Amino acid sequence: MEEESLPLHLGFIVDGNRRWAKDRGLPTLEGHRRGLKQVEEVAEECFKRGVKFASFFLFSTENWSRSQEEVGYLMKLVILNVDRLAKKMLKNNTRLAILGGRERVSEEVLAAVDKAEEMTAGCTGGTMGVCFNYGGRDEIVQAIRKMAEQSMEISEEGVAKSLYHPEIPDCDMIVRTSGERRISGFMLWRAAYSEFLFLDKMWPDMTKKDVGDILNEYARRNRRFGK
């Protein structure tokens, strides 16, 4: 695929892990485990095909309201996997960037994700953005607070530079799985001119072929940016 027809930044709203497990008579936690595996596979395929940024909405600020068992398992998944993931990404020259607030997240989890980010900071082959403890409105509020603290002029450029990981560009296309047709606060600032694609399949069923289909669909879109 020609470079000009490729999205610079693909965003994924990872949805359907729990329903995938329920449909198969499996524990909810197994859906999350399988979902994380597919996040890695999809990210790798994006970078292999020339996408520079791939972001995944994994845990929202609203997800704290889920059961203590489920939230605890998700935090455990982070601790058990983020170091392994970072080492794998380092080998592949890809970078990990965590987007989200630090409130309510344990020191153990924060230490693990900080170490993973630092480990891959110098990698240049692609950036995997992980939206963790993330809310789109909260990101904008935090950006405005940062601007106020630094006495910055209020402008679109200023907000963009004050977001989590401001080097990550606007989303060219946002993909949501599981048949839901909403963005649930994902990348609200960066989604201003995003293309949207809603897939009926559950996230754990995503494959490398789906990445190719998504890129083909993006290439067919006519992006006019209001012109």
- The residues that bridge with 10 in the sheet, in sequence order, are 54, 173
DSSP letter, residue 203: G
Based on the residue annotation, tell me whether 15 is a catalytic residue of this protein.
yes
Q: Which of 17, 23, 63, 92 is catalytic?
A: 63
Do strands 95-99 and 173-176 pair parallel, antiparallel, or not at all (unpaired)? unpaired
Closest CA to 176 of 202, 139, 194: 202
Largest CA distance in the chain: 55
Cα angle, residue 180 at apex, residues 220 and 188 outer, rounded to 5°: 75
Tokens for 10?
């693909």
Phi, psi at 108, each rounded to 5°: -65, -45
Q: What is the 3-state secondary structure (H, E, C) of 25-59?
A: CCCHHHHHHHHHHHHHHHHHHHHHCCCCEEEEEEE
The distance of Cα 6 from the centroid of its chain, to the nearest Å, equals 18
Length of the chain in residues, anyone? 227
User: Can 138 be counted among the known catalytic residues?
Assistant: no
Residues labelled catalytic: 15, 63
